[in-house]
Structure 1
Amino acid sequence: MRWTIKPIPEQAQIDALASILKVEDLVAQLLLQRGITNYEDAKRFFRPQLSDLHDPFLMKDMDKAVERIDKAIANQENILIFGDYDVDGTTAVALVSSYLESAYPNVATYIPDRYNEGYGVSYQGIDFAEDNGFSLIIALDCGVKAIDKVEYAREKGIDFIICDHHRPGNTLPDAVAVLDPKRADCSYPYNELCGCGVGFKLIQALGSKKGETIEDLVPYLDLVATAIGADIVPITGENRVMAYWGLQVINQEPRAGFKAIINQIKKQVLTITDVVFIIAPRINAAGRMEHGQHAVNLLKETDLEKAEFFAAEIEKFNTDRRNLDQIIAQEALLQIQENKEEEGFTSVVYNETWHKGVIGIVASRLIETYYRPTLVFTKSGNKLAASARSIKGFDVYEALEGCSDTIEQFGGHMYAAGLTLLEENYEAFKAKFEEVVAKTMDPNLMSPEIMVDAIIGIDQITPKLMRIIKQFAPFGPGNMTPVFMAENLRDTGYAKVVGQEGKHLKCKLFDKNNGSKRSAIDAIGFNLGKYLPTVLDKTVSAVFTLDENEWQGNIALQMKLKDLKEHNSYQF
């Protein structure tokens, strides 16, 4: 791994902010690295206020969307809430449909089948709307590129409102309203919303017309916080406010669906990390293994007993998903090795029997072994479908655009995308993708990079520092957990490997130049068991985050190791 020290602000800036906020220099440095330069910035950062959320009518077409929904309600039209099958889509559908249903009965939901319909707006979904008398479809977390499908619906007398956050193409669909902060002609102040976030702005706009305040809508922010975490959007600006308040709802007054999951896992307080790694995979498992509608049912259920039944059902989906993605990941790794493709700039693998619901997870697993842009293909009907995942600093969506002559359809983000192509184009696509990535990617990106916020001494690791860092949460892109580096470290002599097959490293480190074994701090390094000989015999430098280890009711500070190197063996 490459260790990169983030630029350190000028000492005068650190001194000024430390003085204003009455904090230590280290805390002031961490804040400045996050763009916080004054008291007001710090106040917004540490105490996110609902009043900091923007006026939803600043979003292009919001007035048209509200007017069309008001008209539908006045005319007793049937409204279909359509969303993607992942966490962002299903939370968005649950949010908008439950909000509308609280005052209007003629609302239904539709999640496309991952296998029969694929990603986004589908012809099958539009046919369903026609067959069942729906004259308005509100599409969430999808639709900004569905030009032909929106036209197909219009010919059937069905209007569309699109709430999306993906990058539009050169032409927008001919919908009544296209709400997407990434539209080139949209001047909305924040363009990093997730799909559920755009859905929340829609209900905020609808609510304001009815005299509702933002406080009235707080109970819906648990869904938005979950989508923000799962979709890996920056936790800055509005996303930080909504994630902060949404986590409070999850921990203090969770909806029945979340309460049912929390009861299963028996965890007291959930962080955004817990939402990403505990709640989100379970919601996602419904669409991966069975159907996304199961997730919507869980998220909308108000009766706890019924919610616990749905949660148990989804827990089984999640267990099946885990077992399946581990098996497929092993098969994919073997395919790379057998084809002797370890040395390229990309990993592209295909097996027609692989389960479409887990190929995105498998792509992420492959990156853990071969750190490079990765696509995993499987058979989907008469075409091939793939999930793409990328590495830090490389835009896989742009790379796919460079291969568009071999692709039928694609969409997504910088780091995650999906595509379909004809089977006869697979080899041509594979060669083209390798060629495009090789030409456009800096080879240095193929070494995983750890960004270090600050170099500190062991003596600076205190309960007070931990208390302040905890207030930096919620963490995520744009506000990652502070990463520290410490040098001249030695183990007290009792380092060992723990866990299955000795995968993890447990040790106790102290500064050999400025301390004693009595000042040593516990350290845990997940998947770092291979470093045991180094820690036992040598002076090391470590990159780590701060963590609290709870054991039998006692809480102790510990270093959560990210990487270790023999002292002075690294280069910046």
Structure 2
Amino acid sequence: MPATIAERRWVVSPAPDNAAVERLSQALRLPAALCRLLVQRGYGDADAARGFLRPAAAHIHPPAGLAGMGDAVARLRKAIDGREIILVHGDYDVDGICATALYVRALRMMGAVALPFVPHRVQDGYDLADAGIRAAAEMGASLILTGDCGIVAHDSVDRARAAGVDVIVTDHHTPGDTLPAAVAVVNPNRADCGYAYKGLAGVGVAYKVCCALAEDIGFPLERLHGFLDLVAIATIADVAPLSGENRALVRWGLKVLQQTPNPGLRALLRVTGLADKGELTSTQVAFQLAPRINAVGRMGEAQRGVKLLLTDDEGEAMQIAQSLEDDNRWRQTVEGDTLKQALAALEIGFDADRDRGVVLSGEGWHPGVIGIVASRMVERLHRPVVMIAMGEDGEGKGSARSTSRFHLYDAMRDCSAHLVRFGGHKVAAGCSIRRENVDAFRDAFNARARALLSDDDLVPEVRIDTEIELHHADLDLVRMLRHAGPFGAGNATPVFAARGVAVVGSPRIVGKGHLKVTLGAFGSRIDAIGFGMAEHAAEPWFGRQLMDVAFKLEENTYNGRTSVQARLVDLRPAG
């Protein structure tokens, strides 16, 4: 079996130049602890640091810079002027659901007749396909506008055109060698697109399209700012980089979310207990809000998620939000069962030396959870994993996840002779495959991984920003670090390391395998929790000798008392 969490390699970032930290601290009048982080992350220049800490309008690039934008706006304006029905076709994940809701609300505000459609994951499959074309015909739509999908749907675009329906594709996934023959294709990752920022999520592209359309027809841009809550949620959920333009959009979107005008989001905030939390964080979005929206798309009818974000009825919003909560609990149960089955399959057939890439297939697996399970497997194996849910018709739906050192989309492309279709990007991808081709695909995928991944690439790493004394891990530091958020992909939550700390008192196992412990060193103490880290309590060295600990810092409020808490990342015997 693969390495456990205790065998991770620690990579401590080089200490920043003290003089550079001091200069930045004096220039901005900020504490040295925050300035050390800024210098480490490439913001040692005072102007660069100001721009990072307070994203400004300069970070937002003109939407006209996106290739295909002019054609998209012209066709949308024609549809508005002619009162054509526009079918907004999204994907069934958080990004696609939010892009769909944003398009429909914004287009309707600008005078369009816009109707939403999101495919059913199990019944319709993913991407623009026959189900979307049928829906357009049934609704009488003469234009399909995609959000977060369509970039590799060449055949479907051709079929829509043959049926007399124009298509505008807006997406952010990796394009193939050619673009679909749509009226317009807007995607910052087009080879011929000179847009200044390539990291937009699908919802970000949708927002830019709406801004360009608003400018063209003279609609007030400020009226679109209320949709930044949807942009923030989907950008975080899609693990898009929180740098550059995304950072500004998410920073502002989180502020909108605190007082969101969207009844569906207000209901979701109440259901998750976040309505009265005040300032919302990217972590709360990623682990509390987004999973509820994601669950409805994974487990059944994603259209309910769209309906939640489109309703203006408070009672209906609360009813749908409660149903999403039920979906999420069901998703967690199914996910746990599938993970157990996948781990059992590993016990039988996995060879750590041979299998640099892992392909697992199962009859009866729910296609809605295999992507999450693939992520869990990558955490354990630290190598690319493809999970395939086989259907009764002999075709399987696959979800793949990877580490940063293996490009999934390129690997899928190189193995595409064994696939019906595929799409995605560097660390996440999807595919369809016939049962009879699974073994050949497994061999080809593994060969690709063996050719590209060295032994060193398979060792899990814990990246540590800085080492600190335990007594410096206080609430003041936590509150200073907020200025460097929101944290996520491309701007990771800072990880600290403290050396030679002891376990104070008795550790506790809580919830489903979580470790709660008090750490102490030189008279200082801090409460800590390690999610899924209960196994460490059984280690022979745990609690019996000093430890080195890697952790993130957070506030914890209980019974009206706020204190600092360490969220454990790794533990090991003191070096």
Fold equivalence (TM over 0.5): yes
SS in structure 2 opposite 1:537? coil
Deviations 1:225-273 (A, max 9, x none): 1111110010011111111111112112351111111211222333111
**CA 158–505 in structure 1, closer or farther in 2 if over 3 Å, else same:** same
SS at match of 1:134: coil
- Partner deviation per Cα, 1:289-331 (whole Å, 9 max, x = no partner): 2211111000111111110111122222222111111111111
Matching residue of 1:28: 35
Other-structure match for 2:264: 257
1:275 aligns with 2:285: yes
CA distance in 2 between counterparts of 1:204 and 1:103 reads 11
- Equivalent in 182, 188, 203 of residue 181 of structure 1: 188
SS at match of 2:551: strand
Stretch moving more, 192-201 or 132-141: 132-141
Aligned counterpart, 2:248: 241
| Conserved 8 A contact 2:80-2:112 | no
Aligned match of 2:79: 72
Question: Larger deviation: 455-464 or 424-433?
Answer: 455-464
- 1:6-405 mapped onto 2 (5 Å cutoff): 6-50=13-57, 52-104=59-111, 106-267=113-274, 268-269=276-277, 270-341=280-351, 343=353, 344-380=355-391, 381-405=393-417
> d(CA) in 1 for partners of 2:460 and 2:220?
45
Distance across 2 between alignment mates of 1:558 and 1:40: 32
Structure 1 residue 11, shift from structure 2 partner: 3.4
TM-score, normalised with respect to structure 1: 0.94
CA shift for structure 1 position 544: 1.0
Measured against aligned partners, the alpha-carbon deviations of 1:125-176 in whole angstroms (never above 9, x if no partner) come to 1233234321111111011112222122222221111111011111111212
Structure 2 CA distance, aligned partners of 1:109 and 1:179? 19
Q: 1:520 aligns with which of 510, 520, 525?
A: 525
Displacement of 1:212 in angstroms is 4.1
Please tell me whether the aligned partners of residues 489 and 540 of structure 1 are also in contact (alpha carbons under 8 angstroms). yes
Q: Which range is displaced more, 528-537 or 439-448?
A: 528-537
- Distance in 2 (CA, whole Å) between partners of 1:124 and 1:536 is 58
Of 430, 436, 440 in structure 2, the residue corresponding to residue 418 of structure 1 is 430
Match of 2:546 in 1: 539
State how 1:498-509 maps to structure 2 within 5 Å.
498-500=509-511, 503-509=514-520
Q: Which amino acid aligns with 1:137?
A: I
The corresponding residue for 2:570 is 563
Query: Residue type of the partner of 2:32?
Result: D
Would the aligned equivalents of 1:336 and 1:347 in 2 still touch at CA under 8 Å? no
Q: Could you tell me how far apart the structure 2 residues matched to 1:114 and 1:15 are? A: 54
Q: List per-residue Cα deviations over 1:509-538 (Å, max 9, x = no partner).
A: 21xxxxx32x22223223333434534221
What do residues 314-372 of structure 1 show as CA deviations (whole Å, max 9, x unaligned)?
A: 22222211111111111111112123545522322112211111111121222333332
Q: Secondary structure at 1:520's aligned position in 2?
A: strand
State yes or no: 1:482 paired with 2:494.
Answer: yes
Q: Hey, what's the Cα distance between the residues in 2 that align with 1:501 and 1:235?
A: 30
* Greater displacement, 150-159 / 422-431: 150-159
Contact between 1:90 and 1:111, CA under 8 Å: does it hold in 2? yes
Whether the aligned pair in 1 keeps the contact of 2:242 and 2:487 (CA below 8 Å) is yes
Is 205-214 or 345-354 further displaced after alignment? 205-214
Confirm or deny: 8 A CA contact 2:498 2:550 kept in the other structure: yes
- Give 2:5's aligned residue: none
2:96–2:202 Cα contact (<8 Å) kept: yes
Answer yes or no: is the 8 Å Cα contact 2:104–2:114 preserved in 1: yes
1:509–1:526 Cα change, 3 Å: farther
Whether the 8 Å contact between 2:512 and 2:532 is mirrored in structure 1 is no
Whole-Å separation in 1 of the counterparts to 2:21 and 2:51:
19
Q: 1:465 aligns with which of 474, 477, 496?
A: 477
Shift of 1:6: 1.8
Work out the CA distance in 2 between the residues paired with 1:187 and 1:105: 29
Per the TM alignment, residue 19 of structure 1 is displaced from its structure 2 partner at its CA by 2.3
Q: Is the 8 A contact 1:495 1:505 kept in 2?
A: no
Q: Deviations over 1:70-127 (max 9, x none)?
A: 1111112111101111111110000001111124352211112212321111023123
- 1:391–1:336: structure 2 CA closer, same or farther, 3 Å change rule? same
Given the superposition, is the C-alpha separation of residues 306 and 346 from structure 1 closer, same or farther in structure 2, using an over 3 Å criterion?
same
SS of equivalent to 1:360: helix
* CA drift at 1:539: 1.8
In the alignment, structure 2 segments of 5+ residues that lack a partner are 1-7
TM-score scaled by structure 2?
Answer: 0.93
- Unaligned 5+ runs, structure 1: 511-515
Measure the CA separation in 1 of the matches of 2:272 and 2:474: 30
Cα distance in 2 for residues equivalent to 1:24 and 1:389: 39
Partner of 1:497: 508
SS at match of 2:123: coil
Query: Do the aligned residues in 1 keep the contact of 2:9 with 2:460 (CA within 8 Å)?
Result: yes
Quote how far apart the aligned CAs of 1:65 are: 1.0
1:122 and 1:316 map into 2 onto residues whose CA distance is 29
More off after superposition, 366-375 vs 300-309: 366-375
Q: Give distance in 1, aligned partners of 2:71 and 2:415.
A: 36
Is the Cα–Cα contact under 8 Å of residues 151 and 179 in structure 2 kept in the other structure?
yes
Q: What is the one-letter code of the residue matched to 2:325?
A: E
Cα offset, 1:35, TM superposition = 2.2
C-alpha spacing 1:65/1:405, structure 2 compared with 1 (3 Å): same
Q: Which amino acid in 1 is paired with 2:17? A: E
What is the total number of aligned residue pairs between the two structures? 561
Structure 1 range deviating more: 94-103 or 525-534: 525-534
Superposed displacement of residue 206, structure 1:
1.3
Following superposition of structure 1 onto structure 2, how do residues 411-450 of structure 1 map, counting pairs within 5 Å?
Answer: 411-450=423-462
| Residue 191 of structure 1: how far off its partner (Å) | 0.6
Q: CA deviation at 1:446?
A: 2.0
Shift of 1:374: 1.0
Note the alpha carbon deviations across 1:176-221, whole angstroms, 9 max, x for none.
2111001111111101000010000011111222434543212101
Instruction: Give the letter aligned to residue 316 of structure 1.
Output: D
| C-alpha distance after superposition, 1:411-446 (max 9, x if no partner) | 111111111112111111111111111111122232
**Counterpart in 2 of 1:513?**
none
